[in-house]
Structure 1
Amino acid sequence: MTDGGGRSVMEGAFALLGAVERAGEAGPTRLAAECGLPKTTAYRLLEQLVDLGAVERSRGGYRMGPLVFRLGRSWQPYPGLRAAARAPARRLARLTGAAVALNVLREGQTLVLDWTPGDDVGAIGGLQDGAAFPWFTAAGKVLVAGAHPRTLKGPLPAAWQREAEAIRERGAAFDREGVASGVCCVAVALHGPTGAPLASLSLVTDPEHSLDRLVGAVQQTGRIISAALRGR
């Protein structure tokens, strides 16, 4: 069954969901144009998504609904990952006063699964559940350094091999305002039963704090979470 635009109804619905996510809030005309759908088809699918709770009506047209929020919060790349990380991440945030995030690498981006705010809210740099950042954040680099070299599509930077070796040797990746001004980060990989990196734990703070002093606490927390993932 097609939606009138030469694609399946499911493809059309997911295309609209993607368009709503990118826009934040938009009307059916704009969403239909972005997805290449007839306006009547887009409107019909959007109303069906409203009935399901996937999107909701707003003054500007449509925006994401509560169903997508609930489903998104339940996603994790490995069973028990969120549960294993939750308490240790909160303890780390209390100990350091910095924001702490649980991250995964997907489609060339660093995705934030969960985050715990620190004392300095201004230092988190847009950190929130579901936020996406380039792979070359500390949280992404520590995963790429420990994963298969073909994890990312396209060529890696010329100096990457040397940087990856330094990350593996130190057991952590650092970002000192390399992605966002005023935001510094240290990240470690979280390992599953096979030893493969499943996710990363990152601590985000401001340039006033020394990452070299904080890295030990982040590494210890990472070991606790990895041990829990291995059932120990």
Structure 2
Amino acid sequence: VAAFMAGLGGGSVLGAKKAVESRSPLIVFAVLEAAVALYALLMPWITSVMSDWMIAWASESGLGVWYGVQSLLMLMLMLFPAMAMGYGYACVVESARRYSAGRFELGQLYGLNTLGGATGALLSVALLAAGGWKNAVYIIAFTGFAVAALATYLALTREGRIALLKKDHGRVEGGEKDFLKAALLYGLVGMAAMIIQIGWVRVFGMIMLRTEYVLALIVMVFLAGIAAGSLIERRLKDRKII
């Protein structure tokens, strides 16, 4: 979870700077999505090789070294695809900023993204039960390829004939410092949320004795709540309630 969230956050921060400079953010997103899907196809082979290597290493090392190597491998396994996902989200945000004429806001995009994540977490339970881990990974990989193809189609058919929208909202004196403070506070909110989520997994895992399904259900509920809040915020904002 730590490697995955670090990758998402790092990729989003990097993508927020680079996507603005890109001629076609949707094409960049499509390439990243296809790369992640390819990585998913290779995942069973990668984990098999890693498992054999870790077993051989464990027989010749102490417990502390074993935990260190295990953590390092998990970091390598999750960090880079998660960074690609985070970078891709920044590209989608930039595409919406350019071509949606204000119809989509960041809260809506974030809400739809997390709603998709919640749906995926719930579907993972069914896919794992029905076809096992390997088949579930293959299904998700081909879904990723389909998303990449759709993004490419949209980029080639829409970006070529829709003018770039340039809006100068002006700069607010001291606004950058205020933004950094708000971003830091929001980061602390995310940290607290992850602590609570892992705590839930620990508690309900001991009760239900199936950690993978417990994790999927908790992530689903967690992301569904975030998505609902993000989407409801737009409604309340339109009605001038907040």
Instruction: Give yes or no for TM over 0.5.
Output: no
| TM-score, normalisation: structure 1 | 0.20
Structure whose residues are more often helix by fraction: 2
| TM-score, normalisation: structure 2 | 0.20
